[in-house]
């Protein structure tokens, strides 16, 4: 068993510190595998300090909290001499809306309904008297001094109970909150704790490089807590219930026994079929064994990358959102593959995305209309080159997601279709939806609609737009973004266990495509730099009123700049990407105008001052 | 609306109690005395506050923070080799490449091709490797010069990390005159924060100028790393830190985190300085364990001026995890808690994060974006920052 997730490779001897940090380290390492996170339905973790943390998985709405219990101690003698042992306390803090809250002891139940509960949970060790009420299990760890073997156990009662012999009256009436002899608390502690224990066991399996070699279950009669008429608490036997201790061991370890009825399975006898049903479903059995040094675990789970489709009208803020998603994944060292296309023949967007992610620009034309079969090839190419966990298809501004459905369906064996996200400009959205069937289809075809630049729109504008979107697509999730382009609500979607409801069912019939609406692109090369003022003026007054004007060119004052215009507003900013910048050779300056019924001759005349031509000048 | 004569629904009762509608009810409930109404703050976790002395000031010169030049190429290579758990020495990057492709490299093959050139003919070694390595123009490296002024006025120079590309690092060393300082034995020690390619594989460049410099690393280095120290030409005995906190000099400590890092690397150290009248300053390579863990450990273990976190230099990872509450998943928010007064960030911090810091008015010391550093929001290559 590999020990280098908790024992420094240069230190042959275990110290108490190694044990305290072991669970956190195991999860840190295992979470680097996308498939692990998907397998255990990982949601996230917030460390409180190096030994204590809270975490969430999708199996339960609440939060698990783990902290060190009794510190590490060394076994004195007997068959387990020299083993370092330690114990952790596992808490479960239910979500306020969970039914479980009503089954907790009153003092805990009340806390779950308080405002401020969620924040307090994050620092639960600071409120140890209160948080003690949420304890569900103990997790023990036993490790050999050289780190070559370890064992993990879950100790929990089948049901954690407090019986109120006197009953709890409801003050101010003759009724009972808890009738005499009734249960004040009754929670399925073992079942709850097992969900977290399974995650830990799976993490250790990934890090250790082998599945458990031993399973042992010990059961003892259980008890419930009762308070006698004098107010003293005592434990009273609860027939029919048991307290369970379940061990999993790696590396041939024999964990200490505590007595009680025993079921033990080792080595060849240890097969999922032989295990009790609840234990057999644990993810650690679905991670295949690894025998060579440096070889990787394989996973009996979905290894397909996730695919998100990003739609949005021209200039809606799609690329800005894309950049922020890429950046966020980059800080987690996760690779994002981007498939892009721009309707103009020169791909401006590829340069904008820069080198943050591998980009395979598709051929000219709109991905939904003219390329069939190439989307698949694009996905395959990205997987071969970089094998990213996440793929984002940034469709051209004029693409209709409803037309894409058929193509996306064919991709299902290659990728997990997570969501279609449509970005709608918070400022211009209402006009767009009113004027363009294509714009409306983009909203209809979305699983998630993001209203961008909401910080620039008035509350009235936002309200109207929200209502319009809801009317077009009541099922889609609707989020707003302001100065921050990435709405927080989107974040859970990017986790493999994600919330994505998946794509909408297919809507029959042909849908508005940009050709039928008269959209086209005109690309002009500008051979002479002009002044910035002039550039802005020309861009704002183009004949045919194009929706969007984009380009990379030089002005007299600035050197290479990026021109971006949407619906009459234009900006110019210095451009330091490929094609611009001080240490890159200048590419031919160009602009792309996209709109309805554009007349290229009129545009050529309009841009004559910059010596505009339609053909690419000869390269020097 | 429940009829008064029926048993009240448990949930409604709870909601009522929690929102204060039935305040005092519990108090009248006889055998049960639930007194904890507010979240009573128990005494904070015990702080050890070990005194490690004080110094007058710390100046950091960024020799290089551009560890590599194309993240796409880097991540592509890693994923082609099998992902974030793959042993870094097999990635087939210079200087340990063997031309066999992603995931098929080995330390032994690499050192066989260049061992004889180390450390006197680094150019030849790197040129040989460029012929067989993946993306040979990608490597850069991380390294900085730390000058501490002690309370008695004496000045001490230390090197943190030695970068990656022999050619890029040698160029950077010459630019900042590190080569001359090393040759004159002006630099008192080399600290290696962790075994990652962009902090450690450029070790021969330091060895070229001073092959006996006192070298401090930690017990997280693997056998390849320990072997490389010898093969790179080191003639001294490295000091291996095992304890979590090493008091190095008055006002200077080395903090070690035992955490697994991507691509089969373990553990990272950072330098902590206690600057008189200012507070605690952290100088880091990457903060792989997360800046929040760093501050949490320092807060618990050490005593520092004004009980104040004063400064930060280096790459800032907030945490290896995404927070389960996305609201908190934000370095900008998290860092506010500690109220740093002077920040120089670069490297793995991320351009957008750095920009956010600046936009939110954090005390970020901006740089000049020279020598291929990407943005002025970074304390870039050739830039300096002084604390105290």
pLDDT of residue B128: 96
Over 70: is that where the pLDDT of A616 sits?
no
Do residues B102 and B222 share a domain?
A: no
Considering only residues B2 and A259, tell me which one the structure prediction assigns the higher pLDDT.
Answer: A259
Work out the average pLDDT over A207-233: 85
Q: Are strands A448-452 and A416-425 parallel, antiparallel or unpaired?
A: parallel
Cβ contact B293–A50 (<8 Å): yes
For chain B, the first-to-last Cα distance in angstroms comes to: 66
pLDDT of residue B31: 38
Considering only residues A71 and B342, tell me which one the structure prediction assigns the higher pLDDT.
Answer: B342
- Name the minimum distance, in Å, from the CA of A332 to any CA of chain B: 7
Do residues B91 and B224 share a domain?
A: no
* Residues 417 through 476 of chain A touching chain B, CB cutoff 8 Å: none
pLDDT of residue A199: 96
- Name the minimum distance, in Å, from the CA of A50 to any CA of chain B: 6
For residues A590 and B71, what is the distance between their CA atoms, to the nearest angstrom? Answer: 28
Of the candidates B318, B317, B297, B295, the residue with the CA atom closest to the CA atom of residue B308: B295
Over 70: is that where the pLDDT of A267 sits?
yes
Q: Which residues of chain A does B218 touch, with a Cβ-Cβ cutoff of 8 Å?
A: 8, 10
Over 80: is that where the pLDDT of A405 sits?
no
Do residues B348 and B326 share a domain?
A: yes
Question: Could you say which of B86, B113, B138 is where a domain stops?
Answer: B138
State the burial class of residue A471 (Cβ atoms within 10 Å of its Cβ: 0-12, 13-18, 19+): exposed
Say yes or no: A33 contacts chain B, CB-CB below 8 A: yes
For residues A519 and A546, what is the distance between their CA atoms, to the nearest angstrom? Answer: 9
Do residues B220 and B369 share a domain?
A: yes
Top mean-pLDDT range of A40-44, A375-379, B73-77, B310-314: B310-314
Of B7, B262, B328, the CB nearest to A176: B7
Q: Which residues of chain A does B352 touch, with a Cβ-Cβ cutoff of 8 Å?
A: 323-324, 327
Do residues B292 and B364 share a domain?
A: yes
Do residues B177 and B310 share a domain?
A: yes
Say yes or no: A118 contacts chain B, CB-CB below 8 A: yes
pLDDT digits (tens, 9 = 90+) for A411-467: 777 888 888 899 998 888 888 888 888 888 888 888 899 999 998 888 888 899 999
Of the candidates B101, B111, B202, the residue with the CA atom closest to the CA atom of residue B160: B202
Q: Where are the beta strands (DSSP E) in A468-556?
A: 477-480, 519-526, 548-555
Q: Which residues of chain B does A50 touch, with a Cβ-Cβ cutoff of 8 Å?
A: 257, 293, 296-297
pLDDT of residue A618: 54
Task: Supply the mean pLDDT for chain A.
Answer: 79
Over 60: is that where the pLDDT of A345 sits?
no
Helix (H) or strand (E) holding B72: helix B71-81
pLDDT of residue A552: 79
For residues A243 and A189, what is the distance between their CA atoms, to the nearest angstrom? Answer: 10
Do residues B192 and B340 share a domain?
A: yes
- Report the chain B residue with the minimal C-alpha distance to residue A109: B14
* Chain B contact probe: residue of A110, A384, A499 with most B CBs at under 10 A: A110
Contact A276, A174 (CB under 8 A): no
Of B32, B262, B325, the CB nearest to A46: B325
Number of domains in chain B: 3
Do residues B113 and B232 share a domain?
A: no
pLDDT of residue A95: 94
Do residues B155 and B202 share a domain?
A: yes
Question: Could you say which of B89, B110, B138 is where a domain stops?
Answer: B138
Over 70: is that where the pLDDT of A580 sits?
no
Cβ contact A47–B221 (<8 Å): no
- Name the minimum distance, in Å, from the CA of B164 to any CA of chain A: 19
Do residues B367 and B267 share a domain?
A: yes
CATH code of the region A519-613:
3.30.1220.10
Q: Residues A20, A223, A126, A90: is their CA dihedral positive or negative?
A: positive
Of A10, A129, A359, the CB nearest to B36: A129
Do residues B9 and B146 share a domain?
A: no
CB pairs under 8 A between A and B: 233
Contact A519, A398 (CB under 8 A): yes
Over 80: is that where the pLDDT of A93 sits?
yes
Cβ contact A296–B83 (<8 Å): yes
pLDDT of residue B221: 97
- Report the chain B residue with the minimal C-alpha distance to residue A116: B39
| Residue A404's pLDDT band (cuts 50, 70, 90) | confident
Q: Which residues of chain B does A387 touch, with a Cβ-Cβ cutoff of 8 Å?
A: 79-80, 83
* ipTM for the whole complex: 0.89
Q: Residues A63, A69, A73, A79: is their CA dihedral positive or negative?
A: negative
* Residues 290 through 319 of chain A touching chain B, CB cutoff 8 Å: 294, 296
Q: Chunked in runs of 10, what are the mean pLDDT values of chain B (388 residues)?
A: 48 70 51 37 68 97 94 81 90 96 94 94 96 96 98 97 97 97 97 97 97 97 97 96 95 95 95 97 92 90 95 86 79 82 91 84 94 93 96
Provide the CATH number for the domain around residue B300: 3.60.15.10
pLDDT of residue B40: 38
- Name the minimum distance, in Å, from the CA of A35 to any CA of chain B: 11
Domain residues for B190?
50-68+141-387
Say yes or no: A63 contacts chain B, CB-CB below 8 A: yes
Over 80: is that where the pLDDT of A588 sits?
no
| Residue A299's pLDDT band (cuts 50, 70, 90) | low
Work out the average pLDDT over A527-535: 87
| Residue A475's pLDDT band (cuts 50, 70, 90) | confident
Cis, peptide link before residue A16, omega less than 30° from 0: no
Predicted TM-score (pTM) of this structure: 0.79
- Report the chain B residue with the minimal C-alpha distance to residue A184: B10
User: To the nearest whole percent, how much of chain A has pLDDT over 70?
Assistant: 79
Question: Could you say which of B89, B104, B138 is where a domain stops?
Answer: B138
- Report the chain B residue with the minimal C-alpha distance to residue A209: B85
Q: Which residues of chain B does A356 touch, with a Cβ-Cβ cutoff of 8 Å?
A: 71-72
Of A109, A385, A495, the CB nearest to B76: A385
Q: Residues B369, B373, B377, B379: is their CA dihedral positive or negative?
A: negative
Domain edges within chain A: 16-155+189-297, 306-494, 519-613
Give the fold, CATH level 3, of A306-494: Rossmann fold (3.40.50)
pLDDT of residue B44: 52
For residues A68 and A51, what is the distance between their CA atoms, to the nearest angstrom? Answer: 6
- Report the chain A residue with the minimal C-alpha distance to residue B69: A355
Say yes or no: A489 contacts chain B, CB-CB below 8 A: yes
Do residues B263 and B332 share a domain?
A: yes
Of B83, B90, B219, the CB nearest to A294: B90
């Amino acid at each position: 068993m590999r020990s280098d997730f908790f024992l420094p490779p240069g230190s042959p001897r275990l110290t108490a510190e190694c044990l305290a940090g072991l669970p956190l380290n195991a999860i840190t390492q295992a979470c680097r595998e996308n498939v692990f996170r998907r397998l255990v339905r990982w949601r996230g973790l917030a460390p409180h300090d190096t030994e204590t943390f809270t975490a969430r998985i999708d199996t339960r709405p609440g939060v698990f909290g783990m902290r060190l219990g009794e510190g590490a101690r060394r076994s004195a003698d007997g068959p387990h001499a020299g083993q370092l042992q330690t114990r952790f306390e596992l808490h479960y803090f239910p979500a306020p809306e969970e039914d479980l809250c009503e089954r907790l002891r009153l003092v805990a139940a009340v806390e779950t309904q308080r405002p401020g509960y969620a924040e307090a949970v994050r620092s639960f060790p600071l409120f140890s008297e209160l948080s003690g009420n949420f304890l569900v299990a103990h997790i023990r760890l036993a490790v050999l001094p050289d780190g070559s073997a370890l064992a993990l156990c879950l100790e929990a009662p089948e049901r954690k109970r407090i019986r109120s012999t006197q009953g709890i009256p409801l003050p101010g009436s003759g009724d009972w909150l808890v009738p005499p002899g009734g249960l004040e608390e009754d929670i399925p502690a073992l079942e709850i704790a097992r969900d977290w224990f399974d995650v830990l066991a799976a993490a250790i399996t990934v890090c250790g490089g082998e599945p458990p070699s031993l399973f042992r279950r010990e059961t003892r009669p259980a008890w419930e807590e009762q308070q006698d008429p004098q107010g003293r608490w005592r434990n009273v036997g609860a027939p029919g219930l048991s307290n369970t201790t379940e061990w999993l061991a790696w590396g041939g370890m024999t964990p200490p026994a505590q007595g009680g009825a025993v079921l033990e399975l080792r080595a060849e006898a240890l097969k999922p079929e032989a295990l009790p049903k609840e234990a057999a479903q644990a993810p650690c059995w679905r991670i295949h064994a690894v025998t060579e040094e440096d070889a990787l675990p394989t996973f009996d789970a979905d290894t397909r990358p996730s695919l998100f489709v990003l739609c949005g009208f021209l200039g809606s803020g799609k690329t800005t959102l894309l950049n922020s998603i890429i950046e966020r994944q980059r800080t987690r060292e996760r690779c994002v593959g981007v498939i892009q296309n721009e309707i103009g023949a020169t791909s401006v967007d590829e340069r904008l995305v820069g080198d943050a992610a591998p980009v395979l620009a598709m051929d000219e034309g709109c991905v939904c209309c003219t390329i069939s079969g190439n989307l698949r090839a694009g996905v395959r190419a990205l997987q071969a080159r970089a094998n990213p966990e996440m793929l984002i298809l940034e469709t051209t501004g004029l693409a209709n997601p409803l037309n894409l459905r058929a193509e996306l369906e064919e991709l299902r064996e290659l990728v997990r279709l997570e969501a279609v996200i449509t970005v709608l400009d918070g400022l211009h959205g209402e006009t767009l939806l009113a004027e363009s069937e294509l714009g409306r289809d983009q909203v209809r075809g979305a699983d998630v609609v993001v209203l961008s630049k909401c910080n620039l729109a008035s509350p009235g504008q936002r309200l109207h737009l929200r209502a319009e979107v809801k009317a077009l697509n009541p099922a889609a999730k609707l989020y707003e973004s302001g100065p921050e382009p990435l709405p927080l609500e989107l974040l859970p979607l990017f986790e493999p266990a994600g919330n994505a409801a998946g794509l909408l069912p297919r809507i029959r019939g042909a849908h508005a495509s940009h050709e039928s609406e008269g959209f086209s692109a005109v690309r002009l090369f500008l051979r002479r730099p002009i002044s910035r003022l002039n550039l802005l003026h020309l861009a704002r007054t183009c004949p045919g009123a194009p929706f969007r004007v984009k380009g990379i060119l030089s002005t007299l004052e600035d050197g290479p700049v990026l021109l971006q215009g949407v619906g009459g507003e234009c900006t110019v900013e210095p451009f330091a990407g490929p094609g611009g910048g001080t240490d890159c050779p200048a590419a031919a300056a160009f602009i792309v105008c996209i709109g309805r019924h554009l007349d290229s001759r009129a545009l050529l005349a309009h841009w004559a001052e910059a010596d505009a031509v339609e053909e690419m000048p000869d390269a020097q | 609306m429940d009829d008064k004569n029926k048993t009240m629904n448990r949930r409604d009762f709870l909601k009522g109690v929690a929102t204060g509608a039935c305040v005092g009810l519990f108090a009248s409930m006889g055998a049960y005395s639930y007194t904890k109404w507010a979240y009573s703050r128990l005494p904070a976790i015990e702080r050890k506050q070990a005194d490690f002395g004080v110094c007058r000031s710390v100046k950091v010169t960024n020799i290089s923070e551009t560890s590599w030049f194309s993240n796409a190429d880097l991540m592509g290579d890693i994923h082609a080799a099998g992902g974030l758990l793959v042993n870094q020495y097999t990635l087939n990057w210079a200087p340990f490449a063997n031309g066999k492709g992603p995931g098929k490299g080995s330390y032994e093959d690499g050192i066989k091709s260049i061992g004889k050139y180390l450390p006197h003919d680094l150019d030849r070694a790197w040129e040989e490797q460029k012929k067989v390595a993946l993306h040979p123009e990608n490597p850069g490296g991380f390294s900085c010069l730390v000058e501490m002024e002690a309370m008695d006025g004496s000045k001490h120079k230390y090197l943190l990390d030695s970068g990656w590309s022999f050619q890029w690092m040698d160029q950077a060393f010459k630019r900042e005159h590190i080569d001359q300082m090393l040759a004159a034995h002006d630099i008192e020690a080399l600290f290696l924060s962790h075994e990652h390619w962009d902090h450690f594989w450029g070790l021969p460049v330091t060895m070229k100028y001073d092959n006996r410099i006192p070298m401090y690393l930690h017990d997280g280095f693997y056998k390849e790393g320990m072997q490389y120290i010898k093969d790179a030409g080191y003639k001294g005995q490295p000091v291996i830190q095992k304890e979590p906190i090493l008091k190095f000099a008055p006002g200077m400590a080395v903090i070690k985190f035992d955490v697994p890092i991507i691509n089969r690397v373990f553990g990272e150290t950072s330098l902590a300085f206690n600057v008189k009248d200012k507070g605690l300053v952290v100088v880091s390579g990457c903060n792989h364990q997360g800046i929040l863990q760093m501050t949490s450990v320092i807060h618990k273990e050490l005593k520092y001026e004004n009980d104040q976190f004063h400064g930060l230099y280096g790459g800032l990872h907030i945490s290896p995890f995404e927070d389960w509450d996305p609201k908190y998943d934000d370095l900008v928010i998290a860092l506010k808690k500690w109220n740093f007064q002077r920040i120089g960030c670069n490297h793995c911090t991320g351009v957008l994060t750095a920009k956010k810091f600046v936009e939110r008015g954090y005390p970020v010391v901006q740089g000049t974006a020279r020598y291929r550093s990407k943005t002025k929001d970074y304390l870039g290559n050739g830039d300096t920052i002084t604390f105290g």
